[in-house]
Amino acid sequence: MSKKISRRQMLGIGAATVAGIGLLKSQAHATNHGGSGAAYQPFKGYNPPRGGARPYWEKSYSGGPVDVKPLPPVQPGKGYKPVVVPNGAALSFKIVDGVKVFHLIAEEVDHAFDSGLRTKCWGYNGRVNSTVIEAVEGERVRIYVTNRLPVATSVHWHGFNLPNGMDGVAGLTQPYIKAGETAKYEFTLRQYGTQMFHSHHDEMTQMGMGLIGNFIIHPRNPAAEYHVDRDFSLMVSEWSIPAGTYRPNTLEMTDFNILTFNGKVFPSTAPLVCKTGDKVRIRLGNLGAMDAHPIHIHGYHFRITATDGEDIPLSAQWPEATALVAVGQTRNVEFIADAPGDWAFHCHMTHHTMNQMGHDFPNMVGIKTEGLEEKLRPLLPSYMTMGQTGMDMGRMAEVMPYPKNTISMKGAPGPFGDYISMGGLFTILKVRDNLRNYDEDPGWYKQPEGTVALKASDEELRRDGIDVKAGLSGLAGEGSSSPAMPHGEMHHKK
């Protein structure tokens, strides 16, 4: 085996060498360009159509004049409904002379991706990927960034309309924030939407170590449609953490083995708990290294209501069941949670809903391996033939020995006694008619009797004329209009 244990090679460990033996806005509102002291007046001179949508592609693409007079700061629960940050939290603030003051701390964090994997990451204020900054359009924010890392850093406010010197590109728009130093960013929020923030110094390393987060700006005068019952903030990222190691490998370009929502892999991703009938918004940000993620919802269609922090007019919104979120992008999706149940919500790249695993061995599906284990065990006590029936994580999780400090391919035991063979970028939208509160996991959904796909009974099979033994050909001819393609013919044509 090679010295580096990567995701690709991971299976080789318990499977021992199966391969080796050869078997195998902004209108800104700012209509007054009056220099400093000009009042920040959202929507002034503009009569929004029903619902208060903003005009698009007008004069300014950058939020209008920079030196506008800020509006008074707003408290959570009063001027806005705070977002829900699964597995994370919004950064606290204080108000000093009408300015919202935040203190962001970049530091090393001993982070648990799941019970099996703890890694020294870098993060903000003790959390990895899951510290959210939340504010309101028109507010003046002052953000102190203390650098407790061993190296220089900076913070870029991604998607923001701001003065150039506040943009946070180390070396270009500001000097480095050196180890031990605290820098001050200050600007007025002349826009609203789902934005992000991240290190903009040695990005590959620092973002790969975890220095990323969502920055939510609520509208000052929200349109009626803005109101939702549940407003979730999720940051998507990807990591390379070779099994048994304790630091992310930020040099990896393609082979990521840990895929996270807010820094967690399923089953450690907190469920998205909703009441039946709730209007739900999910804000998705992606600051991973390389991959766009098609984030898919089960049982529903949502509308993509905003891209990169800007609203999409209703007439242009796309109904979809999968929102593609590329690196550096944010998407807001919204839907009415009118169907109770446990609905999967996940990236649709199948490799992104697997945890640590491997691909560096042949496809064993269909290979007859009877007797192999008995023969090999005396030589390799931990030997287990794998892959011949696919990647059943339940079995692997139970019997496969893993190196220390790795997640393994396990999913989670589900409500039917079987394993949910999903990991990584996977969470559960839990919609319930009755909830004690939103912060408690309501447990597994109990489907009404007769609404679960169970093993078909003999009686049912008889009733519907399903001859299990005859297979597909038993159905052909009985109303089947598909042209008869004799089995095997295709294979023999040259």
Q: How far is the CB of 332 from Cu ion (least distance, A)?
A: 18
Q: Looking at beta carbons only, is 96 or 326 nearer to Cu ion? A: 326
Binding mask 352-381 for Cu ion (x = CB under 5 A): x-----------------------------
Q: Looking at beta carbons only, is 80 or 426 nearer to Cu ion? A: 426
391 binds Cu ion (CB under 5 A): no
Give phi and psi for 345, each to the nearest 5. Answer: -135, 110
CA atoms within 13 A on the CB side of 166: 20
Count of CB atoms situated within 10 Å of the CB of 87:
18
Please, are residues 184 and 147 in contact by the beta-carbon 8 Å criterion? no
Q: How far is the CB of 60 from Cu ion (least distance, A)?
A: 35
Binding segment toward Cu ion, per CB under 5 A, in 165-173, 260-268, 301-309, 345-353? 345-353
Alpha helices (H) along 203-336: 203-208
Q: How far is the CB of 429 from Cu ion (least distance, A)?
A: 17
CA distances from 156 to 162, 210, 402 (A): 11, 14, 39
Binding segment toward Cu ion, per CB under 5 A, in 51-59, 176-184, 291-299, 356-364? 291-299
Please, are residues 382 and 355 in contact by the beta-carbon 8 Å criterion? no
349 binds Cu ion (CB under 5 A): yes
Q: How far is the CB of 290 from Cu ion (least distance, A)?
A: 10
Binding segment toward Cu ion, per CB under 5 A, in 72-80, 173-181, 343-351, 364-372? 343-351
Give every CB contact of residue 485 below 8 A, 6+ residues apart in sequence: none
Q: How far is the CB of 374 from Cu ion (least distance, A)?
A: 39
Binding segment toward Cu ion, per CB under 5 A, in 105-113, 116-124, 265-273, 292-300? 292-300
Alpha-carbon radius of gyration of the chain: 26
267 preceded by a cis bond (ω within 30 of 0): yes
Q: Looking at beta carbons only, is 21 or 290 nearer to Cu ion? A: 290
Q: Looking at beta carbons only, is 188 or 257 nearer to Cu ion? A: 257
Q: Looking at beta carbons only, is 293 or 432 nearer to Cu ion? A: 293
CA distances from 424 to 153, 235, 264 (A): 28, 13, 8
Q: Looking at beta carbons only, is 321 or 349 nearer to Cu ion? A: 349
Q: Looking at beta carbons only, is 233 or 286 nearer to Cu ion? A: 286
Give every CB contact of residue 337 below 8 A, 6+ residues apart in sequence: 230, 274, 275, 276, 277, 278, 279, 280, 300, 429, 431
Q: How far is the CB of 349 from Cu ion (least distance, A)?
A: 4
Binding segment toward Cu ion, per CB under 5 A, in 65-73, 178-186, 346-354, 392-400? 346-354
Q: Which of 10, 297, 347, 407 binds Cu ion (CB under 5 A)?
A: 347
Q: Looking at beta carbons only, is 80 or 261 nearer to Cu ion? A: 261
Please, are residues 430 and 84 in contact by the beta-carbon 8 Å criterion? no
Give phi and psi for 430, each to the nearest 5. Answer: -105, 110
In the block, residue with structure tokens 């696919």: 390
Which tokens in the block code for residue 25? 């806005």
Q: Identify the H or E element spanning 384.
A: none
Binding segment toward Cu ion, per CB under 5 A, in 48-56, 286-294, 391-399, 480-488? 286-294
Q: Looking at beta carbons only, is 218 or 352 nearer to Cu ion? A: 352
Q: How far is the CB of 413 from Cu ion (least distance, A)?
A: 24
In sequence order, the β-bridge partners of residue 319 are: 303
Alpha-carbon distance of 191 to 62, in angstroms, equals 9
Please, are residues 403 and 1 in contact by the beta-carbon 8 Å criterion? no
Q: How far is the CB of 241 from Cu ion (least distance, A)?
A: 16
Q: How far is the CB of 418 from Cu ion (least distance, A)?
A: 24
Alpha helices (H) along 115-195: none
295 binds Cu ion (CB under 5 A): no
Count residues near Cu ion (CB under 5 A): 4
Count of CB atoms situated within 10 Å of the CB of 100:
23
Which tokens in the block code for residue 33? 């360009």
Q: Looking at beta carbons only, is 29 or 352 nearer to Cu ion? A: 352
Q: Which of 293, 296, 430, 432 binds Cu ion (CB under 5 A)?
A: 293
Q: Looking at beta carbons only, is 102 or 426 nearer to Cu ion? A: 426
Binding segment toward Cu ion, per CB under 5 A, in 151-159, 176-184, 207-215, 289-297? 289-297
Binding segment toward Cu ion, per CB under 5 A, in 156-164, 265-273, 350-358, 394-402? 350-358
CA distances from 103 to 94, 109, 188, 338, 447 (A): 9, 17, 17, 39, 46
Binding segment toward Cu ion, per CB under 5 A, in 119-127, 280-288, 306-314, 348-356? 348-356
Q: How far is the CB of 298 from Cu ion (least distance, A)?
A: 16
Q: Looking at beta carbons only, is 198 or 352 nearer to Cu ion? A: 352
3-state secondary structure of 343: strand
Sheet holding 322-325, edge to edge: 272-275, 426-432, 341-347, 293-297, 322-325
Q: How far is the CB of 426 from Cu ion (least distance, A)?
A: 10
Alpha-carbon distance of 13 to 9, in angstroms, equals 7
Q: Which residues bind Cu ion (CB under 5 A)?
A: 293, 347, 349, 352
